[in-house]
Amino acid sequence: MLQFLQHVEMAQISWLGAMADMSRVAFNGDANYLISCKLGVSLMSIRPVTNISLATPTMEGAGVHLHRVFGFGETKPFDPFLMMDDFRNDDPAAYTKGFPWHPHRGIETITYVLKGSVEHADSLGNRGTLGNGDVQWMTAGSGIIHQEMPTGNAAGQMHGFQLWANLPRNQKMCTPRYQDVKSGDIASLTDDDGTHIRVIAGDYRGYRGPIDGIDTDPAYLDIKIPANLCKRFPFDTRRQGFAYVFEGSASFGNAAAPFGINVEKEFAGEEMKIRDQSGNRTLVLFGDGDEVEVQASETGVRFLLISGAPLREPVAWHGPIVMNTRAELREAFRELNSGSFVKTGADGWFTTQRR
Over the stretch 317-339, which tens digit does the pLDDT of each residue have?
Answer: 999 999 999 999 999 999 999 99
Please give the pLDDT value at position 352: 33
Report whether pLDDT(156) > 50: yes
Contact 109, 123 (CB under 8 A): no
Over the stretch 297-310, which tens digit does the pLDDT of each residue have?
Answer: 999 999 999 999 99
Contact 99, 148 (CB under 8 A): yes
What does the H/E/C string look like for the chain?
CHHHHHHHHHHHHHHHHHHHCCCCEEECCCCCCEEECCCCECCCCECCEEEEEECEEEEECCCEEEEEEECCCCCHHHCCEEEEEECCECCHHHCCCCEEEEEEECEEEEEEEEECEEEEEECCCCEEEECCCCEEEEECCCCEEEEEEEECCCCCCEEEEEEEEECCHHHCCCCCEEEEECHHHCEEEECCCCCEEEEEECEECCEECCECCCCCCCEEEEEEECCCCEEEEECCCCCEEEEEEEEEEEEEECCCCCCCEEEEEEECCEEEEEEECECCCEEEEECCCCEEEEEEEEEEEEEEEEEECCCCCCCEEECCEEECCHHHHHHHHHHHHHCCCCCCCCEECCCCCCC
Over the stretch 187-211, which tens digit does the pLDDT of each residue have?
Answer: 999 999 999 999 999 999 999 999 9
Mean pLDDT of the chain: 83
Over the stretch 71-95, which tens digit does the pLDDT of each residue have?
Answer: 999 999 999 999 999 999 999 999 9
Please give the pLDDT value at position 269: 57
Looking at this protein, which amino acid is placed at residue 290?
D
- Residue 46, exposed/middle/buried by CB under 10 A (0-12, 13-18, 19+)? buried
- For domain 49-343, the question of CATH label 2.60.120.10 is answered with yes
Contact 148, 317 (CB under 8 A): no
Over the stretch 225-258, which tens digit does the pLDDT of each residue have?
Answer: 999 999 999 999 999 999 999 999 999 976 344 3
pLDDT band with cut points at 50, 70 and 90 for residue 347: low
CA dihedral 110, 306, 85, 226 (to 10 degrees): 120
pLDDT band with cut points at 50, 70 and 90 for residue 9: very low
Please give the pLDDT value at position 58: 97
Give the CA distances from residue 64 to residues 33, 58, 316, 341, in Å, rounded to whole numbers and listed in that order. Answer: 48, 8, 26, 26
Give the global pTM: 0.82
User: In the chain, which residues fall in CATH 2.60.120.10?
Assistant: 49-343
To 5 degrees, how large is the angle CA 270–CA 271–CA 273?
140
pLDDT band with cut points at 50, 70 and 90 for residue 126: confident
